Amino acid sequence: MKLVGEHIYLRLYDDSDAKDLADLHKRNREFFLRVSPLHDESFYTQEHQALRIEQALKKAKEGQTYAFGIFLKETDELIGDITLAQILRGNFESCYTGFALDQKHNGRGYTTEALKLIVKFAFEELKLHRIEAHAMPENLGSIRVLEKAGFKKEGIARKNVKINGKWEDHQIMAIINEGV
């Protein structure tokens, strides 16, 4: 599955992406650490990323999670990832999204483009009603990306996620599919 934008495209990961995904996380380890949970050393290996991809593909087949790589159209370089996770059906028809972009590609609109593509997929293809995202209040870059894609602030989840070893508050943001 491939979702194509102006500068980037999203593609579900496959086995061949494990090395590039491990390299992305190694290269951005310190950068991602400020907004991510702590990972043990195995997380940064090709083997661990291959296992994560295998699990994500299984969950995609079950309609529970869609883990996409963000690739530059011009070079096919993997520059980030974006996920729809914890998909709930029935009376919820909702999910969470999260994203990360290689530090050297920040500020070029790629994450906003990726988020708009994944929202369109979630609403038009999956027929979801709501997508929720959380960002630390001081993570202004991610909050701006979410706002540009149409997400609205809903409140603060206090001490919501353990980031870099410390419980952190998160700004709850969501976008609603008014057509469902």
- For the cut 90, the answer to whether the pLDDT of residue 131 exceeds it is yes
Q: pLDDT per residue over 11-28, tens digit each?
A: 999 999 999 999 999 998
Task: Give the model's confidence band at 34: pLDDT under 50 very low, under 70 low, under 90 confident, else very high.
Answer: confident
Is the pLDDT reported for residue 38 higher than 80?
Answer: no
Check the CA dihedral 122-93-151-141 and report its sign. negative
What tokens were used for 58?
A: 């299984």
Element (H, E) at 80: strand 78-88
pTM of the model: 0.93
pLDDT of residue 124 exceeding 80: yes
- pLDDT exceeding 70 applies to what percent of the chain? 99
Quick check: 93 and 127 in contact, CB under 8 A?
A: yes
Q: How far apart are CA 16 and CA 23, in angstroms?
A: 13
Q: How confident is the model at residue 164 (pLDDT cuts 50, 70, 90)?
A: confident
Alpha carbon distance 3, 17 (integer Å) = 17
Give the up-direction half-sphere exposure of residue 126: CA atoms within 13 A in the CB hemisphere.
29
Average pLDDT, the chain: 94
Q: How do residues 73-116 score in pLDDT, each as one tens digit?
A: 999 999 999 999 999 999 999 999 999 999 999 999 999 999 99
- Predicted pLDDT at 37: 81
Helix (H) / strand (E) element for 31: namely: helix 29-33
> What domains sit in the chain, N to C, each tagged with a CATH number?
2-129 (3.40.630.30)
Q: Nearest to residue 20, comparing CAs of 52, 56, 65? A: 52
How far is it, in rounded angstroms, from Cα 129 to Cα 26? 35
User: Which residues does 38 contact at the CB level (< 8 Å), separation at least 6?
Assistant: 162, 164, 165
**What is residue 7's three-state secondary structure?**
coil
